[in-house]
């Protein structure tokens, strides 16, 4: 059984596709589980701001490595990698299909392979972080769409995050004296000041960086999701897996 990875820019709809794929795989008798590869979704108390799958979504597909790190604690890829490896190995041992899903490129790499945490020399290319070797047979899918449509989705998603109570989350986090890494959550400062437009701009810029990461991933299978719902995209992924 291969590992499936779904990567893409913020706002492209990775969670929805992962859930739809899980439903498709269950039709074939599988019991999939999602393993997050998002650097900030690990923090408890920031689920709205960081876009963690909702309780209703997690009923449809179990998600691992979300909301488990205290807001006061620092956390990095070195902490994440052994946890991701353990979750993937446990899922495979139990006969469950791991669906690694998220938008942090370095965390995706760390989840799928042995990542050297030795600092690379200054002249090294970013792409040297990647190789085609993975710990388990893995199929990596990258979701993409028309840029203007993506930016419209990002802007709408940002407004929805604010409306869902992200400011209250951040206020509580501030009172707890959050770690430096927790404060890196996209929109942490902007949501307090109410500068939604700046939050949207930063989210669009982040999406561009994520797309740059996608171009460095070897053997990535690009999927254009323009005009397609989650089920349609999931069907393409399942077909590529031979399911």
CA distances from 220 to 6, 37, 108, 113 (A): 10, 16, 12, 15
Dist. CA 145–CA 147, nearest whole Å: 6
Domains of the chain, residue spans = 3-145+210-241
Entry pTM: 0.92
> Which residues in the chain land under pLDDT 50?
120-128
pLDDT digits (tens, 9 = 90+) for 162-193: 999 999 999 999 999 999 999 999 999 999 88
* Backbone angle region of 112, left / alpha / beta, with phi > 0 → left and psi within -120 to 50 → alpha: alpha
Q: What CATH number has the domain spanning 3-145+210-241?
A: 3.40.50.300
Dist. CA 222–CA 1, nearest whole Å: 21
Q: Tell me what pLDDT residue 242 has.
A: 84
User: At residue 35, what are phi and psi to the nearest 5 degrees?
Assistant: -125, 115
69 secondary structure, DSSP code? B
Q: Tell me what pLDDT residue 94 has.
A: 97
Dist. CA 75–CA 52, nearest whole Å: 17
């Amino acid at each position: 059984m291969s590992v499936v990875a779904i990567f893409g820019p913020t706002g492209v709809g990775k969670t929805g596709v992962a859930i739809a794929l899980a439903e498709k795989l269950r039709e074939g008798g599988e019991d999939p589980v999602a393993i997050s590869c998002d650097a900030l979704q690990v923090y408890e108390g920031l689920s709205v701001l960081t876009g963690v799958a909702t309780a209703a979504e997690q009923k449809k597909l179990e998600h691992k490595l979300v909301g488990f790190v205290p807001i006061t604690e620092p956390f990095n890829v070195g902490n994440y990698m052994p946890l991701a490896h353990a979750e993937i190995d446990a899922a495979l041992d139990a006969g469950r299909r791991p669906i690694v899903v998220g938008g942090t490129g370095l965390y995706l790499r760390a989840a799928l392979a042995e990542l050297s945490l030795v600092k690379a020399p200054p002249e090294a290319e970013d792409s040297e972080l990647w190789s085609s070797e993975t710990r388990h047979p893995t199929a990596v899918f990258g979701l993409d769409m028309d840029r203007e449509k993506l930016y419209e989705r990002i802007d709408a998603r940002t407004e929805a995050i604010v409306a869902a109570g992200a400011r209250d989350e951040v206020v509580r986090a501030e009172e707890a004296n959050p770690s430096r890494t927790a404060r890196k959550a996209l929109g942490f400062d902007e949501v307090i000041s109410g500068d939604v437009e700046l939050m949207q701009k930063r989210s669009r810029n982040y999406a561009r960086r994520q797309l740059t990461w996608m171009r460095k991933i070897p053997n990535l299978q690009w999927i254009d999701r323009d005009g397609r719902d989650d089920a349609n995209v999931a069907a393409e992924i399942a077909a590529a897996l031979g399911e």
